[in-house]
Structure 1
Amino acid sequence: MLKHKSLLWVWIVIVSGYNCAAQRTGRATVSLNDQWEFQKPDAQIKKVTLPHTWNDKDVLDDVPGYYRGIGIYKRKLKLDHSVKDRAVFLVFNGVAQESEVFINDKSAGRHIGSYTKFIVPISAFLNYKEDVIEVRVNNRFNEDIPPLTADFTFFGGIYRNVSLLITSPIHFSQKEHGSSGIFITTPSVSGESASVNINSFVENNGSSGKKVQVISSIFNDSGEQITSVSSTVTLAKGEKKSIVQDIKSIKNPSLWSPKNPYLYRVVTKIVDVKTSVVIDQVSNPLGFRWFKFDANEGFFLNGKSLKLMGASRHQDYENLGNATPDALQIKDVELLKTMGGNFLRVAHYPQDPLILEACDRLGILASVEIPVVNTITESEAFTKNCMNMQTEMISQNFNHPSVIIWAYMNEILLRPKFADDKPRQQIYFNHVRELAQKLDSLTRKLDPSRYTLLVNHGAWDIYNKVGLTKIPMIVGWNLYSGWYSGAPEDFTKFLDKHHKELPNTPFMVTEYGADADPRIRTNQPVRFDKSVEYSMKFHQVYLNAMLSRPFVADGMAWNLADFNSETREETMPHINNKGLLTIGRQPKDTYFLYQAYLSDKPFLKITSAQWKDRSALADSGKMVSTQNIQVATNLKSAELFLEGKSFGIKEAVDHLIEWKVPFADGRNQIKVVSGNQNDQADINFQLQPFHFNDRIAFKDINILLGAKRFYIDNQEHEFWMPNQPYRGGSWGYIGGEPFKGTNNRISYGSDKNILGTENDPVYQTQQVGIKQFKFDVPDGEYDLSLHFAELVGGELKEALAYNLDNNHKKEVEEKRVFSVSINTVPFMQKVNLAQEFGYATAIKKKTRVTVQGGKGIVIDFLAIEGKAVLNAIQLRKVY
C-alpha cells in the first residue's frame, strides 16, 4: 500500500483583487514545479522539486538495469474562489512515459509517450477547497510504446516543467495536441515581400454564445507593430471554430538566417466585441525564410547555398538524468552556436520547448523526430502511438522558424526480428515499410511546408531492398566507418555511392563519431582505444569529406555532448563518450577542432592544453621529455613558444598544427601566436627518469600493463603511463603479451565494466603470461601496489547492436592460478582471481618493500595453472 501523509498546501492567487474586467478575463500561467511529494511503491515519501527523475542514480551503478515502474507524485492546490468561472488546465512538458492525472481521486486525463507536451483540463474536477493533484507515472517496458530499445536511457518521472494555465471560458483551444492552438505559415517569402497565414482554433466553454474578434498583429524585433488583421466570429456554447487569417504582403521583410536570426512576433488576441476586453492572448515567433534541398548541390536558405553543419543532442546532464534545469538546456544550444554550428538534430525524440526557442533566437536550423528506434512492434496500438507522437510533435513545434525537417525513424533495421525465419522476417520488413509510409504521408499532410526525413544506419543494401530509401524526401545515414566497422576512408566511398545510385535523393550524414574518453590520451592512436587523439583523426577525415562534397547537405556529429546509456560498459560505464563535450559540458579537443573548421571568426586554440597533467619518460640522457602539442586554427599559420622560446612558425594542415616540444619537470608554459590572435596554457609535467641513476629525482610512477595509452585519474590526481619491456637501469615487464579480447574491433584490452572501481581503464588492459616485472630503483623504502582483474569469463552479455563488425569469438575460460613473490619473498600464493574476487572485478594489493644491496625490486609471477596476469602497477618512494 502507498502511504499518503503530510500533503503540502500551495496557495495560488492569480490576480489579487480583480479591479478591472481585463484582470478577470486574461490568461495566467503559474509554475507548479515546487512542493511535490514523490513515492515509489513500498517506499518512503520524499519531497521533490520538478523537474525530477527517479533514475538519476541507479543508471550509474554497477548493478545491471534500472528501476522501470510506477512513481506517484502528489501535491495540494488551493485556488482563489474567483477562478471558479474560468477554464483551468495542467500543462505537462514531459512525463516518462505513461501517465494518468487525478484530481481529488478522479481521473482527469491520460497520456502516452515520454517526450511531448500534454494539457489536462481540470475545471470539472476542482472543489476549490482542498484539491489534490496526483500524477501516476510509469516508465515500464511496453511493447506498444516507442522507443523499445535504444542506445540511451529511458529515465522515468515528471522530468520537465509543469504549470497551471487559467483562461477565460472562451480561449484558444487547448485540444490541439498540446499546441498553442495557433498555426502560422508563410506561403510566400522573398527579399521583397512575404505573406503570412494564421490559423487559430478558438473554443467556447462558457454557458452562452458570444461574438468575439480574433486580432492577429505582427511586431518587429523593436516591438513596433507592422501590420494587423481582424476577424469577427460568433461562438455558440461548446463550439470550437478555426479562424483563418491571411496577411498578403509584408514589404521588404528581414529574413531569418543563422547569421541574422531576425524574429518577428505574432500576437493573437480574442476580444469581446461588446466590451473590447481582451479575453485571451497568445504570442508566437515568426521568421521569414525559404529553403530547399537539392540532390546535387545540397541545401539552400533564402536562395543561397548553405552547408548545414552541427550535431545531435540528447537531453540528459551529468548526475541529473533527464531532469535538466532550463539554463543548462539553453546553454547547450549556445555551445553549439559558439562551435560554429548552424544545425541541431533534436534526437531521438522531441525535447524541451526551450531548445527550439533557443534555436529560433540564435539562428540554429533544426530537425525533430519521434523515438521510433531500432525496431517496431507489429501492432495496431504501436502504430497508433507512433502516429499520435508524430502529430503531437508537429503540432507543438509548428511555429518555430528554426525547424525545417520532421523525422520519424532511426536505424529501424539495425536489429531486425526473425533472423532465423526469412519468410516471417519479410512480413516484418513489410510492416516497417508500411509504418514508415504512414508516418511520412501523415507528416506531409500536417505540414507540407517542411521536409520529411528517415534515418538509416550504414547497411546500404537492406534499406534499399526494404524500400526505406524511397519514402522520405531526405534520406539520413548514420555512418561510423572506422569506428563500429571498417576504416575512416570507407566513409568517402559511401557518400559517393549514395550520390551515384540515388542521384535524385537529397541526403544528410545524420550521425558520425568516435568515442573520446577525455581521461585517455595516446601517442599511438588506434581504433577503439577511446583516446581523444583517435577521435581527432576520425573527425578530420569526416569533416574534410563532407565539406568538399556539395551534394552532402548536412553533417551532424554524434553527439554534442556525452550522454547516459545504461547498458554500455567500456572505459566509462553507462556513458556514450562520442560527445564533443563531456556529459558535464566541458569541451573536448574535438569541440575546438569544429570551431577551427566552422567558425567565421579568427580562431586559435591549443587543443593539447586539455591534457594539462602529464607523466612520461625523459628522453635518453636528457632532463626533458619530447611530446606533441597540437593547435586547432582557421588561420594559415602560427608560432609556438615554450617558456618564451620560439619553436618556429608552422602552417596549418586541415586546421591543425603540431610541434614537438621538450617538457621539463614541473610547470611548462606554452603560448601560440598568429597575428593578433594568441592562446596559452600551463602543462604540469611529471618527468620520469630514463634511468633511475639519472639526475631526475624519482617520486612515484603508475604504469598500465598491456597498454599504449595514458590515463588521467582526476579524483586521485594520478597519471598513468603505458608499459614498456624491461630495460636495464630502468623498469619494465619480462614475458607475456598484451591481453586481446574476443571482440575483433579492439586491438588490445577489454571493454568490460570493471566492478569496484571508477577507474576502469586501469584494469581493462593487462599483460598475459607475464614472468617478471623489475624496477632498478636505488636502495630505500617503497610502496608497491599491484592491480589485477580477471578479464575472461563471467556473465555472457549481449553485444551492442551498434558494433557492426562485432564478430565475437567465444570466450574460452582457462583456470588461472599463479603466485607472486617480491624479491623472492612470497606475496600472493596460488591466487585464483575469478574464484577469489569475481570476474571483471578490480583488485589492488599493496605492500611496502625495503630495497637494499643495490638489488632493486624484482616481482616474479609463477604460473601454476594457465597464465599469470598483471593489469597495472604503482611504485612510490617513501624515503
Structure 2
Amino acid sequence: MKRIALVSFLMCLVAFTSCKNNQKVNDGKIPFDFDWKFALNDHPGAEQPGFDDSEWRLLDVPHDFSIEQPFDSTFTTGAGGGYTYSGIGWYRKSFITEKEFTDKKLTVLFDGVYRNSEVWINGHYLGIRPYGYSSFYYDLTPHLNPTGEANILAVKVNTTEQPNSRWYTGSGIYRHVWLVAKNKLHINQWGVFARTVDANENEASVDVSIELSNENEADQSCTVITKLIDASGNEAGKSESKIDIKAGQQLKVEQNIQIENPALWSVETPNLYRLQVEVRSDDLVDSYASSFGVRTFKFDSNKGFSLNGKHLKLKGVNNHHDGGPLGAAVFDYTHKRQLAILKEMGCNALRMSHNPPSPELLAYADSMGFVVIDEIFDEWMDGKTPAGYSPHFEEWYERDVENWIKRDRNHPSVIAWSVGNELREQYNKDNALKIINMLLEASRKHDDTRPFTLACNEIVNFNSFGVLELLDITGYNYQEAFYETDHEKYPNRVIFGSETVIYPYHPGDCWQLRSYEQWLEGQLEDYVAGEFLWTGFDYIGEAGIGEVGTGCEFWKTWPTWPWRGADCGVVDMCGFPKPGYWFRKALWNNEPMVYIAVQTDESARDREICSFWNWPKVEAHWNHDKVGDTLAVHVYTNVPDVELKLNGKSLGTRKWDLKQEAFLFFEVPYEPGKLEAFGKTKDGITVSFAVQTAGEPAKIVLTPDRKTLKANGQDLSYVTVQVLDTNDVPVPFASNMITFEVNGAGKLAAVGNGNQQSHTSFKGGKMEAYLGGCLAVVQSTDKKGEITIVAKSGALPVATATLAAE
C-alpha cells in the first residue's frame, strides 16, 4: 500500500483549502467556510460546473439569508418565524484537486444547513437532507476531477414551504462546513465513543470504541493506540490494539484505559483530558482527537441528580439556536459569551430546545462547566406546523438520530438524550407507544450509557398511556402542580422541570395552575432533579410570547405583529440581563447580592399577576413622570435583612425568607434622586445597589467586551452602546437612532436592541436605543491591524472605540 504520512499530507492541504489566517487543521478536518458564491432565489442549472456565477455575491459561512432581509408582516413564516424572509438560496464553491488526494477519501461535512438542502459535486447529485438541524456528510471521492482541475460544490437551500417551525430557524448554510481528507484505512466519521465506566478521586476506568473501515482492495494490519492526555500534556492512560482488517471490512475495536488520581469533570471544575486515537501501519494512517471529561452521574427518583457522587440541583435554562441579531449564523464566540452570562447567574444546566445544537456550543458547555439535556425533535409524525418535520419522520428519523447521538456522545456535558418535546402523540396512545419504541430502539444502539427522556406538557395523558415507564427520566413542562402527587403515585419516576416559567408567582386562574408553594417545592425538594427556565435568552419568532398583560387569555388573544419575537427570557436577545436574571442570580448564585427593579407600568402593581411567560414591567431605573405617585419596587436578594433608602432617608428594613416570599415588595412615593438598597448577611457583610434619576441624553459610550480579536474572519466583539446624561447615568427613556460604521481590519456583523417590537434591520448599520442602549457586533476579517467603531446620533458627540485584530 502506498502510504503518505498524514501530517505531511495535511500540511499540503493547507494551501489547497484557502484557509484564513489562524484556522487550524486537525485530523484531516479542514475549515471549508470561506469564499462561497451565493445568490437568492432559484437558478436552474446552478448545480452544473459551467454555470456562470460571476455576478453572484462572494461570502463566507456561517450565513443566514433570512436575517439579512427586513421584517415584514406579510411573510409566510408568520408569528412563529418572526415575520422573517424565507425562500431559495444557492451556494457554490470552487476548489482544486491536488495531487495529495491520490488514494484518499474526501468528504464534505456540514454541521447544519436549514433546510431541504441538496448538494452536488461537479454536477453529480449527492443527496437531500430535509431536517435543518442534522449534521451530515457526503463522499466526494468518486466525482472529483483529475489532479490540477477545479471542482464545483453546489448547495441548494429551500425554506419556501411555510410555516415549518414554531420559532425562527434562519435559512442557509448557517453552521460550519469542513473538508475531511482520509486514507482508505480510516476511523469512521463520529466513529470513536469514549465513556467513563467508573471513577472516583483515586482511579477511573474509561472504555473506548473505535469504528474502522478498510476501503483498500487488500487486507491491512495496523495498530490502534488510544491515549488520554491531561491538561499539562502528560499521558494519563493508554491502550493499544493490533488489528487485522480485511479489504472492504468495517470493524469495531474495544479498548479500556485505566487512570490513577483522575481530574474529575464537574460544573465547578470542568477538567478535560485530550482523547487521542492513532491508527498506525508503520506511518500514521489516521487519527482522531477530542476533549473528554472523566465523570460519573446518576438520576434518582428520591435524591434527584448527582455528579461524581455529589448532589447537584439542576439550575437550567432552555435556549433556541439563534444568536439574536446574528440570526441563525452563530459564530463560536457567541456561544461562549452566552454561556458566560448564564454562568454568572448561577446556571449550571442547558436544555437544547428543540433540536441538536452546534458542536461548538457543546464544546463550550464541556469547558465552562454545564450539564446538558440534548434534544432532537419538536414533532414526530403528528405535525405542529404544515411544513414541519413530520412528513419526513418515518423516512429520516433513524439517520437523524444516528448522526445526532454519534456526533455528541463524547461530550462530558451531555447527561441525557431527549427524543421529543410536547409531542402531539400525547393525545394518541397507540401512536405514542409505537413511536417511542421506534426512537428508543434507534437511539440506544448508539449510546446505552445515558438516560432517555422527553418533555411533557400534558402529563396526565402520558401517565395513562404507560409511555413514561419506557423512559429513564421524565421532563415536566409547566406541570409543577403534579410533582408531589406523581412522586407519590410513581415512586420510581425521576422528575425534572424541563420547562418552567421564569416568574415565581402564577398569573391567576389559568392553564397549568400552580401555587407559590408548588413552585417552591420544585426549588427545594431533592426529588425534583431541577428545572430549565423558558428561556435563558429572548429569541426571534414565537412573536409576542411574554407580552405583559395578556395573562391567561394569551391563548385566546395571541399577540402577533408588531411583535417579532419572544420576550420570555431572563436575558434579552442582545445579551443584556433583564430583571428576572437578577432574581435568579439571587436564588442560584451563593454570592450575596441585592438588586432594585422599579414599576414602569400599572401592570406591575400586583406582585402576583403577570404574563404567563414573562416578568412584570419593572426596570432598574428611577425615572417617573409625576412626583408623589406610589411605585412598586422589587428588591431581589439572598440576604436576610434589607434596608431601602430614598435620597438618604430610610424607608425601613425588611426581613427576607424564600419560604415566605420570592422577593421583597415595597411601595415608594416617587421623588427624583437616588433609591438605594442595603443588604446585610448573617455574617455582617453589607451589599448594596442603587438607581438614580437620569437627565437628558448627553453622550454615547461604547464598551467592547473584547478589545483583541483573532484575524481569522470569524472572531467577534460585542460592543455595548449606552446613552448617558451629563453625570454618566444611563438614560432609560433614550430612543436615539444611532448609526454605526466600522473601519480597518473589521466589519459590522450586526446591530440590535432588546425591543421585540422593533423592525429595524439587524444588518442595516443603524439601531435605535431601547431602555437607553443597544448593541453593535464587530467581526474580524483575515487582516491584522486596528479596528475602529464609530457611533453617531444627531447632535450628540461622536463616540468611538478601538480594537485590534492579531
Corresponding residue for residue 749 of structure 2:
none
Structure 2 residue aligned with 1:768: none
* Superposition deviation, residue 205 in structure 1: 3.5
Aligned-partner SS, 1:114: coil
What TM-score, normalized by structure 2, do the two folds share?
Answer: 0.71
Matched, 1:227 2:237: yes
Contact 1:12 1:78 (C-alpha < 8 Å) held by counterparts: no
Counterpart Cα distance in 2 of 1:756 and 1:311 = 27
Instruction: Give, in whole Å, the separation in 2 of the partners of 1:210 and 1:323.
Output: 43
The correspondence of residues 367-516 of structure 1 with structure 2, limited to 5 A, is 367-373=373-379, 376=382, 382-413=393-424, 429-457=429-457, 459-479=458-478, 491=480, 493-513=481-501
- Is 1:33 the counterpart of 2:33? The answer is yes
**Equivalence map 1:781-792=2 (5 Å):** none
Aligned to 1:122: 140
User: Is residue 615–residue 685 contact of structure 1 (8 Å, CA) maintained in 2?
Assistant: no
C-alpha displacement of 1:509: 0.9
Provide the C-alpha distance between the structure 1 equivalents of 2:381 and 2:127, rounded to a whole number of angstroms: 29
Tell me how far apart the structure 2 counterparts of residues 77 and 91 of structure 1 sit (CA, whole Å).
15
1:562 aligns with 2:562: no
Question: C-alpha distance in 1, partners of 2:106/2:418?
Answer: 33
1:266 maps to which of 268, 271, 275: 275
Q: Residues 671 and 755 of structure 1: is their aligned pair in 2 closer, same or farther, counting only changes over 3 Å? A: closer
Is the contact made by 2:28 and 2:182 (CA closer than 8 Å) also made in structure 1? Answer: yes
Contact 2:678 / 2:686 at 8 angstroms: preserved in 1? Answer: no
Provide the residue aligned with 1:161 in structure 2.
176
251, 270, 284: which one aligns with 1:241 = 251
What residue in structure 1 maps to residue 592 of structure 2? Answer: 602
CA change 1:542–1:391 in 2 (3 A) is farther
Q: Deviations over 1:472-495 (max 9, x none)?
A: 111111117xxxxxxxxxx4x322
Distance 1:366 1:539, change over 3 A: farther
Q: Deviations over 1:158-210 (max 9, x none)?
A: 11011222233332113xxxx2x211122222343221111111223346444
Separation (CA, whole Å) in 2 of partners of 1:580 and 1:220: 37
Give a deviation string over 1:330-351, Cα, whole Å, max 9, x none. Answer: 2222222211111111110001
How many Å separate the matches in 1 of 2:26 and 2:59? 31
Superposition deviation, residue 714 in structure 1? 5.4
Aligned partner of residue 433 in structure 2, secondary structure: helix
Which residue, 211, 214, 218 being the options, matches 1:201? 211
2:299 corresponds to: 293
- Matched position secondary structure for 2:333: helix
1:104 to 122, 128, 132: 122
Partner residue, 2:564: 574
Normalised to the residue count of structure 1, the TM-score between the two structures is 0.65
Query: Residue 661 of structure 1: CA displacement?
Result: 4.2
Cα pair 1:299 1:308 within 8 Å, conserved: yes
- Supply the AA of the counterpart residue of 2:588: L
- Distance change (3 Å), C-alpha of 1:528 and 1:14: farther
SS in 1 for 2:445: helix
Which of these residues, 344, 348, 351, is aligned with residue 342 of structure 1?
Answer: 348
Contact 1:26/1:280, CA 8 A, preserved across alignment? no
Deviation at 1:639, TM superposition (A): 3.4
Give the residue type in structure 1 aligned to 2:446: L
| Corresponding residue number in structure 2 for 1:593 | 583
RMSD of aligned alpha carbons: 3.6
User: Contact 2:622 / 2:691 at 8 angstroms: preserved in 1?
Assistant: no
Deviations 1:108-162 (A, max 9, x none): 34433211211222122222412111012223549xxxxx865313332111011
Q: Shift of residue 454 of structure 1?
A: 1.6
User: Which of 634, 637, 641 pairs up with 2:638?
Assistant: 634
Q: Deviations over 1:193-236 (max 9, x none)?
A: 22111111122334644422111011122221122111122344
Report the equivalent of 2:692: 682
Instruction: Give unmatched runs, 5+ long, in structure 2.
Output: 1-9, 17-24, 44-54, 78-84, 384-388, 545-558, 599-617, 697-730, 738-755, 762-806
Q: CA deviation at 1:353?
A: 0.5
Q: Does 1:715 align with 2:735?
A: yes
Q: Distance in 1 between matches of 2:515 and 2:62?
A: 35
Larger Rg: 1
Corresponding residue number in structure 1 for 2:358: 352
Quote how far apart the aligned CAs of 1:352 are: 0.5
**Alignment-mate amino acid for residue 126 of structure 1:** L
1:365 aligns with 2:380: no
Judged with a 3 Å threshold, the aligned counterparts in structure 2 of structure 1 residues 440 and 28 are, in CA distance, closer, same or farther, namely closer
Counterpart of 2:259 in structure 1 is 250
Output one character per residue of 1:669-691: Cα deviation in whole Å (capped at 9) or x when no partner.
Answer: 646454253333333389xxxxx
Q: Partners of 1:376 and 1:210 in 2: how far apart?
A: 48
Q: How does 1:606-621 map to 2 (within 5 A)?
A: 606-608=596-598, 610-612=619-621, 614-619=623-628
The answer (yes or no) to whether the contact 2:644–2:651 under 8 Å persists in 1 is: yes
Which residue number in structure 2 is paired with residue 732 of structure 1? Answer: none
Q: What one-letter code is carried by the residue in structure 1 that aligns with 2:152?
A: V
Residues 60 and 429 of structure 1, relative CA distance in 2, 3 Å threshold:
farther
Q: Distance in 2 between matches of 1:85 and 1:313?
A: 44
Write the distance in 2 (CA, Å) between the matches of 1:555 and 1:462: 21
Query: What's 2:765 paired with?
Result: none
The one-letter code matched in structure 1 to 2:523 is L
Deviation, 1:470, is 2.5
In structure 2, how many angstroms separate the alpha carbons of the residues matched to 1:104 and 1:72?
15
Q: Which has the higher contact order (CA 8 A, sep 6+)?
A: 2
The verdict on how the C-alpha distance between 1:398 and 1:326 changes in structure 2, with shifts beyond 3 A counting, is same
Aligned mates of 2:42, 2:321 — CA distance in 1: 30
Identity rate of aligned residues, in percent?
25
2:198 matched residue in structure 1: 188
Is the 2:319–2:537 Cα contact (8 Å) retained in structure 1? yes
Deviations 1:434-480 (A, max 9, x none): 001221233333322111102110x3332223333332111111117
Change (3 A) 1:754 1:291: closer
Question: Aligned to 1:173, what secondary structure does the other structure show?
Answer: strand
DSSP-derived class of the 1:14 partner = helix
Q: How does 1:269-348 map to 2 (within 5 A)?
A: 269-273=278-282, 277-348=283-354
- CA deviation profile, 1:67-116 (whole Å, cap 9, x unmatched): 54432111211254333343322111001122222111112344332112
Distance 1:296 1:316, change over 3 A: same
Matching residue of 2:73? 62
CA distance in 1, matches of 2:256, 2:448: 17
Summarize the Cα distance change of 1:472–1:587 in structure 2 as closer, same or farther, 3 Å threshold: same
Shift in CA distance, 555/27, structure 1 to aligned 2, threshold 3 Å: closer
After superposition, give the CA deviation of every residue in 1:809-838 in whole Å (9 maximum; x if it has no partner): xxxxxxxxxxxxxxxxxxxxxxxxxxxxxx
User: Cα–Cα, structure 1 residues 374 and 610, in superposed 2: closer, same or farther, change >3 Å?
Assistant: farther
The alpha carbon displacement at 1:15 in A equals 4.8
User: 1:423 maps to what in 2?
Assistant: none
| 2:694 counterpart SS class | strand
- Report deviation, 1:35: 1.8
Amino acid across the alignment from 2:688: N
Alpha carbons of structure 1 residues 643 and 525: separation in structure 2 relative to 1, 3 Å:
farther
1:173 aligns with 2:188: yes
- Show CA shifts across 1:690-716 (max 9, x none): xxxxxxxxxxxxxxxxxxxxx987536
How many residues are matched?
625
Q: Mean alpha-carbon deviation: is it higher for 52-61 or for 218-227?
A: 52-61
Q: Are the aligned partners of 2:89 and 2:156 in contact in 1 as well (CA < 8 Å)? A: yes
How far residue 409 of structure 1 moved from its aligned partner, in angstroms, is 1.5
Amino acid at match of 2:155: V
Question: Which SS does the other structure have where 2:325 is aligned?
Answer: coil
Change (3 A) 1:237 1:107: same
